[in-house]
Structure 1
Amino acid sequence: MKYFVQFCRIAVGVLFIISGLIKLNDPLGFSFKLEEYFSPAVLDLPFLEPYALAIALFVVILEVILGVTLLLGYQIRLTLWTLLATILFFTFLTFYSAYFNKVTDCGCFGDAVKLTPWESFSKDVLLLVLILILIWGEKYINPLGSKFFRLGTTAMALLACIWFGNHVLNHLPVVDFRPYRLQASILEGMVIPEDAPKPVYEYDWKFNIDGTDKVITTLGEYPDVKGEFVGLEGTREIQSGYEPPIHDFTIEYNGQDLASSILQRRNLLLVVAYDLDKSEKEAFTAIKKHTDSALTLGYSVAGLSASSGEVTGSLKEAYGLDFPFYFTDMTALKTIVRSNPGLLRLKDGIIVQKLHFNDLDELNLPTLEESDRYPEDLKSTLDSIMVMDQKYRSDFSMENWGKQFEIDQQNMVLIDSILQVHGYPGKSLVGPETNKAAWYVIQHSERIDEFLPSIQIAAETGELPYRLYAMMLDRSLMGQGLPQKYGTQGRSYFMNTPEEINLIWPIENPEEVNNRRKAAGFNQSVEEYVADLFGEGTAYKVYTLEEVREIEAKQQ
C-alpha cells in the first residue's frame, strides 16, 4: 500500500504540474475558456467575466504549486484537502459540460491535448479517486528534504510561475499548440482531404403502415417499406466526420468570404485585433509605422477585426492607417494571436512571424525582389489577356470587331476561372498595372452585373482604382435603364435625318456629379469629359430618362 500511495502521489503531482504549466503557457486562452463557462448559455455568471483572466492565473498557478507541494510533501494535509476541493470543482464543471453539452472542450490541457467533455469528466473522476486514496494514505507520504528546502522550493516555484505568467501575457506563449503556429499554412489547415471520414447520420422516417404510425431508422437511405410516408421525424449524428485544424476562419467584406484570395498573396502582413474597443490603442502608432514601411516595400497589408465597420473606420482615420479592415469571427482572432492587437507576417500563406504589440520592433520585413512580389504565372497570364483585350479595338471595322468579339469570349472564360480560384486579382496579388486586366475583360462582357459586387470590394479595399468601379457601376445602371452616378457613360443616336445626338446618359442628382467624380478619382469634370468624348466644343447637357426615351423612339 505504501508503494501504491507513492505512485498515486507522483501521478497526481506530475499531472497537476503539467496541466498547470500548459495553461500557464497560455493564460489568455484559459481565460477565454472561463468566459465561455461564465456566459449566460452555460453557468450564467456574467459578473465573473471581467475577472476571468485573474481567476485563470490563480487557478493555473495553484495547480502547479499543489503539484509541487504534493511531490515535496510540504504542508501535506492542506495540500491534500485543497487538491480535493480543486478536483471536485473541476469534476462538476466537466460533468456539467458533458451532460448538458455546453462546452465542447474543457481546456484542461489548453490547446496541447483536446479532450471531449466525457473524456475530461472521466479524467477528473480518476484523479478524484487517486486523491481520495492519497487522503486515506496520508501517513505514507513522507516529506522530502528539510523544512527549509521544502519552503524554499515552493517559494521559487511560485515566483517562477508569476514571472512566467507575466512574460507570456506581455509577449506570446512560449510554445504555440494552435493551428496558427509559426510555419503553419492557414490555407492547408483549412483543407479537407478527399479520403477524410465523413459524418454518419441516422434518419428517423415515419410511415403509416396498416393504420399504425411506425418510425424506421436508416443511415440515410429511403426505407423500402410498404406504407404511406408521413414525414422525417429527425436526424442524429452518430459519428463525427473529419474536421480540419482550421475550420472557422473567414475574411469577410460586405458578406463575401475573401480568405482564399487574400491568403494567396505572396507577401502579406496581417494586423489582428479581435475587439478594437478593448485593444491597446497606443500600439497602432507603431503599427502605422511598420505597415507604411511594409506597403512601401511591396507587401500587402490587411486588418482583421470582429469590430464593426464604423469602429474600424474611426480607428483608420484616427491613426492614419492606409490599409483595409475585414471582418473575422472573434473566436478565430483570439485563437490566431494572443495579443490585441498583434501582427502576423505570411509568406505564400505560411506564417513566418507572429508578434505581440509589445514586440513590434522585432518585425522583420526583408526587401522584396520584383520577381518575389507576385506569382509570375498568374501575372503573365493576365498581362497577355490585357494585350489581347485591346488587340483590335483601336482599328474599328466589322471584320476586326468580329475578331475582337471572339477574343473577348475566350478572355472571359479565362477570367472566370481565375476569379474562381484567386478571387479578384487585385493590386496586392498581381501588381498595380496588371490589376486592371480582369476589369477590362468584364467591362467588355455582358456579365457586368454578375461581377460588380467583387469589383466594388476590390475598389473599396484599394485593390483596384475606385474610378474603374465607378465606370462599371455606371454601365450597369445604364444597362438597367437607370440614372448613372458618375457621368462616365455616353451614347450617340443617329436620327433619320443627318442630325446626330451625342449625350451623357442621365445622371442621378447631376448638380453633385463633379463632387462624386472627384471623390472617385476622376481628374476631369463632366463638362471636360464630354469635350474629350464627343469632340472639342461639345457642351454638356443634362438629359432626363424621359427625354432619352423620346430620342430613342424617334431613332427607331
Structure 2
Amino acid sequence: MHIPVHMARFFVGALFIFSGFIKLNDPLGFSYKLQEYFAPEVLNLEFLSPYALLISIGLVISEVLLGIALLIGYRKKLTLWLLLAMIVFFTFLTFYSAYFNKVTDCGCFGDAIPLVPWESFIKDLVLLVCILFLLFFQKHIRPIFKNKIVQNSIIFLSFAACMCFGYYVLMHLPWLDFRAYKEGSNIAKNMEIPEGAPEAIFDYHWKFNVNGKEKIVTTSGGYPQVEGEFIGYETEQVQEGYIPPVHDFTIEKGDENFTTTFLEKENVIVIVAYNIDKTEREGYYNIKKVTEEAIRKGYTVIGLTSSSPSVHEPFVRDYKLPFDFYYTDETTLKTIVRASPGIVSMDKGTILQKLHYNDASDLILNSLPTAKPHLNFNLKFQLDSIAVLDQKYRKLMQVPEGPERKALGESMGLDPAEYSGDIWKRQIALDTSNLRKIESILKNGVYPGKSLVGTPTNTAAWSVIQHSNKIPKYLDLMKKAGKAGELPFRLVAMMEDRYLMNEGKHQIYGTQGMTYNNGTPFIWPIENPEEVNKRREEAGFSSTIESYAKDLFGEDFEYTPITLEEAEIRRLASIKEHE
C-alpha cells in the first residue's frame, strides 16, 4: 500500500497547497465569496459577514499548512483529522450550492480555475475519499524529516510566509490577477460576443387542460397546436450560451449611460470605491494627491461607485476630491480591483495599471498636450461649492408647489422644509452670499477660467454674475476670458445680450426672451436679425434662432423679428392691462 498511499498523500497535499495559495493570493475575493454563502438567501449566517475577511485568511492559511504538513508527514493523525473536518465542511458547502443553485461558483480555486457547483462537489468527493483512504492506511505515512525541530521549523516558517504574503496582497493587490480586468486587457473587447458563439437554448413546457387532464407539451419555443385550454408555461435552460468575460460593466450617471464614452476615451484615471460607506477613508489622502496631479497633467479622472448620489456627493465635498462619481454595479467594482479605493489607469478601454491606494505614488502619469499645470484646486473646490448653491433652488422654482415639486425635491435629497415655502427668498439669500464671494475672487482682475480651475468649474463665476445686477461691472472681464478661451464664448454672448436687453438696446445673439405679465412671449429685438444665425454659429451656439425660440417658448412658437418700438408697445400694453 506504500505506493497508493504516497500517491494519495501527494495528490491531497499538493491540491490543498495549490487551492490555499490561489485563495491566499486574493483573500478579499474569497471573503466576498464567503459573504455570498453567509447571505440570508443561502445559509442565513449574516452575523458572520463582518468577519468574512478574517475567516477567509484563517481558512486559506489552514489549507496551505495542512497540505504542507501532510507532504512532510507532520503529526499525521492530527493533520488527517483536520483535513477530514475541512473537506467535510467544503463538501457540504459545494453540495448545498449545487443542489439549491445558490452560489454559482464556489471559489475553490479563486478566479484561476472557475468551477460550477457540481464540478466543485465532485472534486470535494474525490478528496474526501482520498483523505478517508489516508486515515485508514495512515501507518504507511512516514515523516520526510525525523527531526522534530526541522518539522516544527518548516511549519512555523510556512505560517510566517503565509502571513507575510497575505498581508502584502491586502496592503497592495493580488500578486497574480486571473480576472477579466487584469492589466493589458481591453474591457470593450472582453464584452464582445464572437461570431458563431453558441446561444442559450431553452425548452418551453406548455401546460394545457385537455378533457379535464393536464397535458404538458415541450417545444423549443413555438406555440404547440393542442386542442385544449391553455394554462401556462415554464421555461428550462438546456444549454447555456456564450457569456463574454465582461458582461456586466456599465458607467451611468442619472439616466445617461457613459460606458462607450469612457471606453473610447484616451488617458482616463478611474478611482474605484465599490461602496462609499465601506471605503477606506484614510486612502483618500493619496487619492486626492494623485488625482490632482493627473488632472494637471491632462488626464480625465472619474470615480466609480455603487453608492447613490445622496451618499457620494457629500463625500466628494467633505474630502474635496477633484472628480465626480458615476454608478457601476458593486459586484463588478469588487471584481475590477481588490481595493477600495483602488486606482485603474485606462486608455481607450485598455487597462494599463491597477493600484492599491497605498501604491498611488506608483501611478505612471505623462504630461499630455491637454495638461493644465496651473490648476488651483483650492479655488476650484470653492467655486464648485458656489456653483452647487447657485443652482440649489432654481430647478424647484420652475415647478409648481405640490406633488411635482415634492418629488423633485426628494430626488435632490432635500428635506420638506427646503423644497416648500418661499424658496425664491432662500435662493436670493444664497445669491447674495455667492456674489460677495465671487467679487472677492474677481477683485484682482483675473477671471478663474479653464486653465486655472478646469471645466465646468470655469463657468461658476459667470453664472453668479449672470444672476446678479453686476453684469455691467464685469462684462468686459467676461469678454476678455471668452476671447482667451478661458470661458465658453456662447456664455459671454448670453451675458452681453442680457446686458443690452436691460439697457433697452438691441441684443446681438438672440439669447434673451421676454414675457410681460403672462402675455405673449417674444424674442427681444435683435440687431440685424437677418445675420443673427451667422453670429450665433461664430459664438458657439449649435441651434438657429428659430430652433432656439421653440426650445424657449414651445414648439408652437414661431420666431418673428420685432423692433424696439414694438417691444416698448408690448410693455406699455401689459402695464395698462395689469392696471
Q: 1:547 pairs with 519, 533, 551, which one? A: 519
Contact kept? 1:531, 1:537, Cα under 8 Å: no
Q: Secondary structure at the match of 1:216?
A: strand
Cα distance, 1:294–1:550 mapped onto 2, change above 3 Å = closer
Q: Is the 8 A contact 1:205 1:217 kept in 2?
A: yes
Amino acid at match of 1:178: R
Matched-pair contact (CA < 8 Å) for 1:270–1:343: yes
Q: Which residue of 2 aligns with 1:200?
A: 201
CA displacement 1:342-362 (0-9 Å, x = unmatched): 111111211111110111111
Taking the aligned partners of 1:240 and 1:545, their CA distance within structure 2 comes to 66
Which amino acid is 2:352 matched to? V
Q: What is the SS of the residue equivalent to 2:346?
A: strand
Are positions 1:524 and 2:466 aligned together? yes
Alignment of 1:82-97 (within 5 A): 82-97=82-97
Deviates more, 1:197-206 or 1:533-542: 533-542
CA distance in structure 2 between the aligned counterparts of 1:19 and 1:182, rounded to whole angstroms: 23
1:155 aligns with 2:97: no
In structure 2, give the amino acid aligned to 1:175. Answer: L
- What is the match of residue 25 of structure 1? 25
What is the distance in 1 between the residues matched to 2:204 and 2:349? 40
What is the correspondence of 1:429-468 to structure 2 with a 5 Å cutoff?
none
Aligned partners of 1:533 and 1:178: how far apart in 2? Answer: 61
Matches within 5 A, 1:16-95: 16-95=16-95
Q: How does 1:111-122 map to 2 (within 5 A)?
A: 111-122=111-122
Describe the SS at the equivalent of 1:303.
Answer: strand
* Distance of 2:276 and 2:366 partners within structure 1: 29
Q: Which residue of 2 aligns with 1:537?
A: 504
Structure 2 vs 1, CA of residues 175 and 534 (structure 1 numbering), >3 Å: closer, same or farther?
A: same
Structure 1 counterpart of 2:157, which letter?
M
Would you say the 8 A contact 1:210–1:227 is kept in 2? Answer: no
Q: Deviations over 1:2-40 (max 9, x none)?
A: 211111000000000000000000001111111111111
Partner residue of 1:166? Answer: 167
Task: Give the Å deviation of 1:278.
Answer: 2.1
- The one-letter code sitting in structure 1 at the alignment partner of 2:100 is F
Residues 223-234 of structure 1: pairs in structure 2 closer than 5 A: 223=224, 225-228=225-228, 230-234=230-234
Contact residue 42 and residue 102 of structure 2 kept, 8 A: yes
Specify the alignment match of 2:142 in structure 1: 142
Contact 2:514 2:521 in 1 (8 A): no
| AA at the equivalent of 1:186 | I
Q: For residue 379 of structure 2, what is the aligned residue in structure 1?
A: none
User: Which aligned runs of 4 or more in structure 1 are off by greater than 6 angstroms?
Assistant: 539-542, 549-555
Q: Which runs of 5+ in 2 are unaligned?
A: 372-383, 400-422, 436-459, 472-494, 507-511, 524-556, 559-568, 571-579
Consecutive unaligned residues of structure 1, counting only runs of 5 or more, are 374-461, 478-507
The Cα shift of 1:549 comes to 7.1
- Give CA-to-partner distance per residue, 1:100-130, whole Å, 9 cap, x none: 1111111000010111111111100010000
> 1:27, 1:190 → 2: CA distance?
26
RMSD, aligned α-carbons: 3.4
Query: Could you tell me whether the CA contact under 8 Å between 1:531 and 1:538 is conserved in 2?
Result: no
CA distance, structure 2, for counterparts of residue 314 and residue 292 of structure 1: 19
Greater CA drift, 349-358 or 227-236? 227-236
What aligned pairs does 1:319-468 form with structure 2 within 5 A after superposition? 319-369=319-369
8 Å contact from structure 2 (residues 513, 521) kept in 1: no
C-alpha change, 1:37 and 1:230, in structure 2 (3 Å) is same
C-alpha change, 1:209 and 1:357, in structure 2 (3 Å) is same
- After superposition, give the CA deviation of every residue in 1:111-167 in whole Å (9 maximum; x if it has no partner): 101111111111000100000100111111111022232222122111111111111
Structure 1 counterpart of 2:504, one-letter code: G
Identity of aligned residues (%): 46
Kept in 1, the 8 Å contact 2:515–2:521? The answer is: no
Deviation at 1:515, TM superposition (A): 4.1
Q: 1:368 to 1:175 in 2, by over 3 A?
A: same
The equivalent residue for 2:106 is 106
Q: Tell me the residue number matched to 1:378.
A: none
> Structure 1 CA distance, aligned partners of 2:172 and 2:343?
12
CA contact (8 A) 1:271 1:341 kept: yes
Give how far 1:311 is off. Answer: 2.2
1:46-75 deviation line (CA, Å, top 9, x unaligned): 111111111111110110111101010110
Map residues 177-326 of structure 1 onto 2, 5 A cutoff: 177-209=178-210, 212-223=213-224, 225-228=225-228, 230-326=230-326
Contact 1:305 1:325 in 2 (8 A): yes
Match of 1:500?
Answer: none
Q: What is the letter of the counterpart of residue 137 of structure 1?
A: F
Letter paired with 2:234 = G
- CA contact 1:171–1:356 (8 Å) conserved in 2: yes
The structure-2 alpha-carbon separation of the partners of 1:510 and 1:66, relative to structure 1 and needing over 3 Å to count, comes to closer
Q: Matched residue pairs, number? A: 428
Q: Distance in 1 between matches of 2:521 and 2:467?
A: 25
Instruction: Say which SS state the counterpart of residue 164 (structure 1) adopts.
Output: helix
CA–CA distance in structure 2, aligned partners of residues 248 and 19 of structure 1? 27
Q: CA deviation at 1:321?
A: 1.3
Q: Note the alpha carbon deviations across 1:230-272, whole angstroms, 9 max, x for none.
A: 1432111111111111112221211433222122111100001
Taking the aligned partners of 1:544 and 1:228, their CA distance within structure 2 comes to 70
Asked if the contact 2:298–2:369 (Cα under 8 Å) also holds between the matched residues in 1, the reply is no
Taking the aligned partners of 1:534 and 1:49, their CA distance within structure 2 comes to: 64
Does the 8 Å contact 2:262/2:348 carry over to 1?
no
Shift, 1:229, TM fit: 5.4
- CA distance in 2 between counterparts of 1:14 and 1:233 reads 49
Contact 2:275 2:307 in 1 (8 A): yes
Instruction: Rate the CA distance shift 1:544–1:219 in 2: closer, same or farther, 3 A.
Output: farther
Bigger shift: residues 16-25 or 314-323? 314-323
Q: Is the 8 A contact 2:303 2:323 kept in 1?
A: yes
Q: Equivalent residue of 2:269, what SS? A: strand
Question: Which amino acid is 1:537 matched to?
Answer: G
Q: TM-score, normalised by structure 2?
A: 0.68
Letter in 2 for 1:179: A
Distance 1:113 1:79 in 2: 26
Shift of 1:548: 2.6
**Which amino acid letter does the alignment assign opposite residue 167 of structure 2?**
N
1:238 match: secondary structure: strand
In structure 2, C-alpha distance between the alignment counterparts of 1:206 and 1:32, rounded to whole Å: 41
**Structure 1 520/201 Cα, relative in aligned 2: closer, same or farther at 3 Å?**
farther
